[in-house]
Amino acid sequence: MQKREFWSRFRNNRLAMSGLVMVAGMFVVALAAPWLAPYDPGYINLKEMLMPPSQAHPLGTDTLGRDVLSRIIYGARVSLMVGFVAVGIATLIGVLVGCLAGYYGGWIDQVCMRLVDVMLCFPTLFLILAVIAVLGPSIWNIMVVIGLTGWMGVARLVRAEFLSLREREFVVAARSLGASDARLILRHLLPNALTPVMVSATLGVAGAILVESALSFLGLGVQPPTPSWGNIITMGQDNIEIAWWLSFFPGLAILVTVMSYNLLGEGIREAIDPRLKE
């Protein structure tokens, strides 16, 4: 019944449904890239470099004559993979730390929360830039570093939920029946604490995609010839006056993707807690 009510509220939110449709469309584009892309994204044709949008190349070509539409389609794979893997790492760490802090309390809670405070003291983007500069730019380093620097919000959410749930009647009853700490956490507390985590993870994907695009734009992200929305924009930066399409179309792809995940996340939040809806 709760699932029906959730879906009914979510379906009645037009912005949330729009976000869901656009996110689903991004998945289809990423998975079907070999069939949707009109050209090989790495094919170089110097005779057609910096061609404006045309029938042959709907979004134009870059400085090496590569089709921009094909590179944006393949770049969707990179962005979505970075977003989901990075958020997966951050969510896993955040849930683990939040569970320990919220359930045990005392000195464990103090240590976990002070660790969160220390991590929050560092500007996230500058911390990521420093780590990437040391480890070297690669897609795997980017995913791991974004995940390792983005778990603090999830940890706080899970801790707050555990603090409010651990003294509830059903938890006290399970504890009085001899349930172990692991069973209490995994079977009784954690399933009831994942609601805000779902919203945070959905919104986190959008943030991770933005960070990856920023790193690629700065030359510390996904390295050419692998197509990424960020490094396509970087190429357009040097030719902005004569090749506007190199910056406009990948920037539009980033805008639509981030907006889609934000709409989806807000829709899930309002469907879960209808009191938030005006």
Who has greater pLDDT, 65 or 168? 65
The CATH number given to whatever domain includes residue 93 is: 1.10.3720.10
Residue 7 reports pLDDT greater than 90: no
Specify the DSSP class assigned to residue 76. H
Query: How many domains would you assign to the chain?
Result: 1
State which residues form the domain around 189: 2-38+61-276
Q: Is residue 55 part of a domain?
A: no
Tokens of 9: 């509220």
pLDDT digits (tens, 9 = 90+) for 148-197: 888 998 999 999 888 888 878 887 787 787 778 788 888 878 888 887 88
Angstrom distance (rounded) from CA 88 to CA 189:
20
Q: Is residue 45 part of a domain?
A: no
Q: Which residues contact 265 (CB under 8 A, 6 or more apart)?
A: 19, 199, 202, 203, 206
Q: Is residue 43 part of a domain?
A: no
Confidence of residue 273 (pLDDT cuts 50, 70, 90): low
Q: What's the predicted TM-score (pTM) here?
A: 0.86
Give the pLDDT confidence score for residue 181 in this predicted structure. 77
Residue 75 reports pLDDT greater than 60: yes
pLDDT digits (tens, 9 = 90+) for 186-241: 887 888 888 788 888 888 888 888 888 888 888 887 887 888 888 888 888 878 88
Q: In whole angstroms, how large is the CA radius of gyration of the chain? A: 22
User: What angle separates helix 68-104 from helix 229-237, to the nearest 10 degrees?
Assistant: 130
Q: Would you list the DSSP string of 126-145?
A: HHHHHHHHHH---HHHHHHH
Q: Is residue 238 part of a domain?
A: yes
Q: Which residues contact 264 (CB under 8 A, 6 or more apart)?
A: 16, 19, 20, 23, 202
Q: Is residue 266 part of a domain?
A: yes
Average pLDDT over residues 63-71: 91
Give the pLDDT confidence score for residue 1 in this predicted structure. 43
Alpha helices in 63-138 (DSSP H): 68-104, 106-121, 124-135
Q: Do the beta carbons of residue 74 and residue 37 sit within 8 Å?
A: yes
Average pLDDT over residues 250-260: 91
Average pLDDT over residues 113-142: 84
Give the pLDDT confidence score for residue 135 in this predicted structure. 80
Q: Is residue 48 part of a domain?
A: no
Give the pLDDT confidence score for residue 130 in this predicted structure. 82
Q: Is residue 234 part of a domain?
A: yes
Give the pLDDT confidence score for residue 45 in this predicted structure. 87
Residue 144 reports pLDDT greater than 70: yes
Q: Is residue 44 part of a domain?
A: no
